[in-house]
Amino acid sequence: MTDDSPDLSDPEYARFAWRRYRRLMGWMTLASLAAVGGALLFLRWSYGPLSIHMTIATALGVGLSVLLGTALMGLVFLSSGTGHDERIQDFSKDDDE
């Protein structure tokens, strides 16, 4: 990677990268809602009517799990895609030489 490539220290590129991240999270919020709906439909089909506590627990558990996984993986891709990972100094190289 060259030193003149855009990274998150450039305000314009940072706005672009974070806008792309927020758009990803918006789409994944819809996917999370679909996963919650699918899980609730499956449980209703398998076990019959669900109590309000089971419905809330399922919705929170499935929805937040999908969103947390998406947020963390999105940050990994943001960091890697902007060249942020390549700019980190590897201190283990000094020990190997």
Tens digit of each residue's pLDDT, the chain (97 residues): 445 666 677 788 888 888 988 999 999 999 999 999 999 999 999 999 999 999 999 999 999 999 999 999 988 888 777 666 666 666 666 655 5
Give the model's pLDDT for residue 11: 82
pTM above 0.75, yes or no: no
pLDDT computed for residue 1 by the predictor: 45
Structure tokens belonging to residue 90: 């590897």
Q: Which run of H or E residues covers position 5? A: none
Coil vs helix vs strand at 13: helix
- Asked if 70 contacts 28 with a C-beta cutoff of 8 angstroms, the reply is yes
Report the pLDDT value the prediction gives residue 5, as an integer from 0 to 100. 63
Asked whether the beta carbons of 28 and 66 are under 8 A apart, the reply is: yes
Q: Determine the Cα–Cα distance for residues 82 and 69; give it in Å rounded to an integer.
A: 20
Residue ranges of domains in the chain: 11-85
